[in-house]
Amino acid sequence: MSELVNIVLNGKNITARKGEYILDVARRHGIEIPTLCNDPRLEPYSSCYVCVVEIEGQRNLQPSCSTRVAEGMKINTENERVYKARKTALDLIMSNHYADCVAPCRERCPAGVDVQGYISLIEKGLYSEAIGLIKQVNPLPAICGRVCVRPCEAACRRNYMDEGNGVGIDYLKRFAADRDMESEHHFKPTIAPSTGKKVAIIGAGPGGLSAAYFLQQKGHQCDIYEAQPHAGGWLRYGIPEYRLPNDILDKEVSTITELGVKIFYNQRLGKNLSYKTIAENYDATILTIGSQRGQLLGAEGDDADGVFSGIDFLRNMEVTGQRYDFSGKRIAVVGGGNTAMDCCRTSIRCGSTDVTVIYRRTEAEMPANPIEIHESKLEGVKYMFLTAPVRVNKTADGKVKSMTLIRMELGEPDASGRRRPVPVEGSEFEMEFDYILAAIGQKTEVDFLEDIKKHSKQGELKITKWGDIEADRQTLQTGIPSVFAAGDGVTGPATIIEAIAQAKLASHSCHLYLTGQPVTPPRKEFLSKKDNFRKLSSDDFVTRYQKQQREEMPVMDANQRVNFKEVELGYTHEQAMHETARCLECGCVEYFECDLKRHADTYQADQLRFMGDHKEFDVNFTHPFIEIDNNKCILCSRCVRICKEVVGANAITLVKRGFDTFVAPAFGDNLADTTCESCGLCISACPTGAITENVPFKPGPVKTDKFETICGYCSVGCTLTFHHKSGYLMRVTGANGQVNTDGNLCMYGKFGYREFNSINRLTKPLRKEGNKFVEISYQEAFDIIIQKIKSVDPEANAFFAGAILTNEEQYLVQKLARAGAKTNNVGSFHYLGTGNGFISDSTQNSMFGDISKANHIYLFATQINRYNAVAGYMVNASKKPVTVIAKEESSLTNRSKEFIKVDSYYHFIKAVNHYLLSSNKQNMVFIGDHCEGFGAYSANLQLEDYANLCEQAGCERSVIERFADEFNNDYGALLIFAEAEVSDNTAAEIMNLMLITGKLGKTAGGLIALKPKNNSHGLSDMGLNPNWGLGLQDITNQEFADKLKRKWGVESLPSKKYNMVELLEKGSLSNILIVGEDPIGTAKYKAVVKDYLQKVRFKVVIDAFLTETAQMADLLLPASLWFESGGSFTNTNHTIQQFEVGVKPKVELTTADLLTKLLNGFGINSSTDIYDIQTEILSLLPHAESGKHLQFTQTSSEGQHLQFHAGCSYLMHNFDIDFENKLNNAKTHSHERVHQH
């Protein structure tokens, strides 16, 4: 037991183990100390100094990750000195962190909408999820997608590409919003339990609707009081329907009222609604009154009949429902903003063919949306720039006759940054008009002020000198503590998105007030910005990204725009997908995971504090799975160290020294050209976004849901964490599992999830008619299958199950065969034609945890670092001598103590066994206690020619004998081999070797047989064999048969046993059911397997994908994936691991459901519940045997190798092919640097 020491941690007396690091002790006691360079899988490095703590009696602060506790030590992890030191460390790191935490579009958006995130979701078809992301800060995406002024698009860096436009952000927002509203289950946020608090919101414009949306979610009842008969405010009464249809507005409003928000119409504060009533019935008030009093020209004669403010012109038509008749009339619109555009385009729709916009600056200075200007020109609107009104000339009866105008020229810039227009002396001229619409500004209506002052009991509501409501700009709390204000009523005329942003702030402050907390501004977020280092230019982009023109918005033909139907028609799906590809992904994809960002937020880091020289790097994504962005690297060396210390690959290194140091692939620019094993552990080690996954989809900083499951690839059985958004898998990370206790993964676990997002998933039953598949119902499919099976002799049916299936699914397949179809023709192509060597080799496998206990490790016929890499990490971490026995050298050879080259694995092992027996070096104590058949085996083997065995092994006798003696004499010898590399009889002889030496089942040595697939072991355990039932029980055993009949409720079971290969070769099968295997796609001898299946009259395939085998089928049933159904796998150590359903299946029925339905069709009751199936399995397993049960196996030839790649698994084989192709392509194109994904 470790010696304990007494220490004082943050003033608390505690005990710790002597030699423990301070960081580990603190974490165990729930004290968080920030770290960047520390990784529990690695030795301390102490490079970042973010984890420093104060130790009494020591002058300097010490890094907690590498300082060990000692008796009497007094440690303080949290005080001002420590805080300042950590902040300084972070400030220094950030001073050379040339990277953007978020994209400039999000930064420019007043509401902070995560544009990059929702574009990523749209690309994946996750429209409601995209809307959910938008609605975190903007509850009106369908509206804003049509009428927002789009500051985000102005900030878009795609503008640097000289393509004319940034990404069509608003168009994409509208695309997603429309599809969300059209869906059966549109996005609806979660509402917190009622707080009992009530909030009155004055005004149902964008600010009021948004404030209600945010506060209702917090559990506060929100009631909106609106002066007009309908909701929307300026959205309804100031924006014409051809831009924003009322039905869209009404639908978006309904998504707010469905949360419980109430709207009371025709209620005007200070008129028929008194603040006295509000104060008596509500706990807080938010004023979102807008700024809707229009201004006239401010020129002589602007009181003429026929002069309107643009706002009144637009509002009157919406309120009355009557359109102006401008037929044959000449219309002047004065102004250059979006209201001016609405006025001029509306005038066209009111019948005028002579509409002129008069603006005092040039077109370049117009604040209106350029698209609106363009569309107005198409509709026939004329423009007069650098022109301003002087006076309105009236007729005798006071109507508009004409307008005197003056030419302008641009002078020096004014406060807005635009050049100030200056009149040109003597340039006045006159133009005749019938109507003049002034779109030059708005004022706030505050006629309720006296009513509030009269009835307010605390504080005072004040007005600014500009006539707007006075509120604290940091909190939007007014002089009355319970009253908040937001929107144009506070800022003066602004934009919809600014009103929404203010509503978010006001609702935040209001919530604090309602919950009794101090009303303080939201904490400012730390953001690293490239713009802090230098101004970007086109040169930073045009040579790095592919050009792609913006998708044009489909619009109604200009000559058809004589009504108020919506002009913009919305993107098609194809257009939207193309437009998402234009996003340059400026923000960091690790935004939600980055340790550096999290600590910088906590300690309020200052990127400018130590600003000086900085380094810039191109992003290196030549590797198909891994990107390296040295701009984000903090030189913690975790990637370098994990690659060396855990993986043993040494593929990444630190290049140069001092300030010039950076991380790079060893020996070159291309990671694919190094010893990289593509495991992705460098990604898991990186505390920033410097090393990330090179994904095949649009990456985005998306907050995901997650679940744990067991890997469905190799047989090690690692625990994975799948990160997903509504079932779309975005990444996989390692979990601290039963096998991979430190969370390490290999490339299968890390990157193998990509196929699960495939659009080629089978989701419906299909029957082949001619050369095409047609969709049928599940019941039709079941009826056809059952009829086909029943129509032939039972022995004319065969059932095959794959090693990707769960134990429960495998069990149901053999139950369907034996209880339903009454045949023992059940098996797996995975082991087709092989003997018992691959069954017995894992009878008493050592556990992976035993690797570290071994004295000497022998890697026999295994590419462990490629196909079972996590086990390879354990070998590497053991630091024990390794001997590699293989047919050729590999990357393992350089890591081994000794390399033994052989020509034949079978003859090598047989020669070893011959030598040990002929030298009388066998372990007779072990053999006598545990084994049968030794005498016959020994006698027969020693009859063989030892010299011939050595010759065929391709080894000198001295090498074989030295190996045999070394292995035999070492109590802690551990032999690891891969079934995929050897024959069945080689596996049997390896087992014989373990019996001869007595090493089987030893805790510090023994044998590990690496099976090809995640549940290869389950195939034998679950009875997928014509000769064996559940738990390798002989199907001819009457006691076992009787137990099955009772459990399954059948009167008879089959007893005949046939050779499955012979049945296939002779064409004896009429029907075949293949579940979760792709024998054609994975076959080493494809023509042979095709011939097998072509002889079968009716083929049924149950699979998740349209594999080559599935394409040959007569009927297809869609399968679920293991994490969609739950169950268990048995790894190569015979460790059974349970996992739950992780995501909703993409199919109506899971694989277990399908098999159960088929069983029901044969009159056999069977539960679909996984736990019921497991209980049934446990009741049928044999009792543990006592006495001698290990059998020596005699072999006369090498036997059979596995006939299918990757355990007959489509997923694994497809991944292997794709991986090799991508890796080879990366090597071929190693010098290309195209940044567009």
User: What integer best gives the mean pLDDT of the chain?
Assistant: 95
% pLDDT > 90, the chain: 89
Question: Tens digit of pLDDT for each residue in 967-1024?
Answer: 999 999 999 999 999 999 999 999 999 999 999 988 889 999 999 999 999 999 999 9
Look-up of token digits 């007893």: 1055
**Strand, coil or helix: 446:** coil
Question: Tens digit of pLDDT for each residue in 377-394?
Answer: 999 999 999 999 999 999
Look-up of token digits 């991986």: 1219
The DSSP 8-state label assigned to residue 55 in this structure reads E
Q: What is the mean pLDDT of residues 1162-1181?
A: 95
**How far is residue 138's CA from residue 170's CA, in Å, rounded to a whole number?**
13
Q: What is the mean pLDDT of residues 233-248?
A: 94
- For residue 1233, pLDDT over 80 is answered with no
- pLDDT reported for residue 1231: 47
Look-up of token digits 């060893």: 666
**How far is residue 1007's CA from residue 967's CA, in Å, rounded to a whole number?**
12
Q: Among 1016, 995, 1005, 980, which residue's Cα sits nearest to residue 1134? A: 1016
Backbone conformation region of residue 162, classed left if phi is above 0, alpha if psi is from -120 to 50, else beta: left
**Length of the chain counted residue by residue:** 1237
Question: Tens digit of pLDDT for each residue in 297-340?
Answer: 889 999 999 999 999 999 999 888 899 999 999 999 999 999 99
% pLDDT > 70, the chain: 99
Q: Among 630, 767, 774, which residue's Cα sits nearest to residue 688? A: 630
Question: Tens digit of pLDDT for each residue in 125-141?
Answer: 999 999 999 999 999 99
pLDDT bin (cut points 50, 70, 90) of residue 194 is: very high
Q: Among 1037, 908, 925, which residue's Cα sits nearest to residue 964? A: 908
Q: What is the mean pLDDT of residues 25-37?
A: 97
Sign of CA dihedral 870, 874, 879, 885: negative
Q: Among 816, 543, 586, which residue's Cα sits nearest to residue 119? A: 586
Q: Among 576, 703, 587, which residue's Cα sits nearest to residue 169? A: 576
Question: Tens digit of pLDDT for each residue in 720-758?
Answer: 999 999 999 999 999 999 999 999 999 999 999 999 998
> Please, is 613 exposed, middle or buried when counting C-beta atoms within 10 Å of its C-beta (0-12, 13-18, 19+)?
exposed
Cα 20-25-30 angle, rounded to 5 deg: 165
Q: Among 243, 842, 289, which residue's Cα sits nearest to residue 570? A: 243
- For residue 1237, pLDDT over 70 is answered with no
- pLDDT reported for residue 560: 85
**How far is residue 558's CA from residue 556's CA, in Å, rounded to a whole number?**
6
Question: Tens digit of pLDDT for each residue in 39-81?
Answer: 999 999 999 999 999 999 999 999 999 999 999 999 999 999 9
- pLDDT reported for residue 1189: 81
Rounded (10°) angle between helices 115-123 and 127-134: 170
Structure tokens at 713: 């690839």
In 1020-1178 the beta strands, taken as DSSP E runs, fall at: 1071-1075, 1098-1103, 1115-1118, 1127-1130, 1136-1139
Q: Among 835, 950, 902, which residue's Cα sits nearest to residue 1195? A: 835
Q: What is the mean pLDDT of residues 1084-1109?
A: 98
Q: What is the mean pLDDT of residues 1036-1042?
A: 95
Q: What is the mean pLDDT of residues 650-662?
A: 91
Sign of CA dihedral 639, 645, 648, 650: positive
- pLDDT reported for residue 1229: 65
What is the bridge-based pairing of β-strands 483-485 and 284-287? parallel
CA dist 1131 → 782, 803, 872, 1182 (Å): 32, 11, 16, 19
Q: Taking the model in full, what pTM does it have?
A: 0.93
Structure tokens at 689: 């976004």
- pLDDT reported for residue 1001: 86
- pLDDT reported for residue 1236: 39
- pLDDT reported for residue 890: 83
- pLDDT reported for residue 1185: 66
- For residue 1230, pLDDT over 80 is answered with no
All structural domains of the chain: 4-78 (3.10.20.740), 104-187+531-580 (1.10.1060), 198-291+444-514 (3.50.50.60), 294-440 (3.50.50.60), 616-757 (3.30.70.20), 766-834+1018-1183 (3.40.50.740), 843-1010 (3.40.228.10)
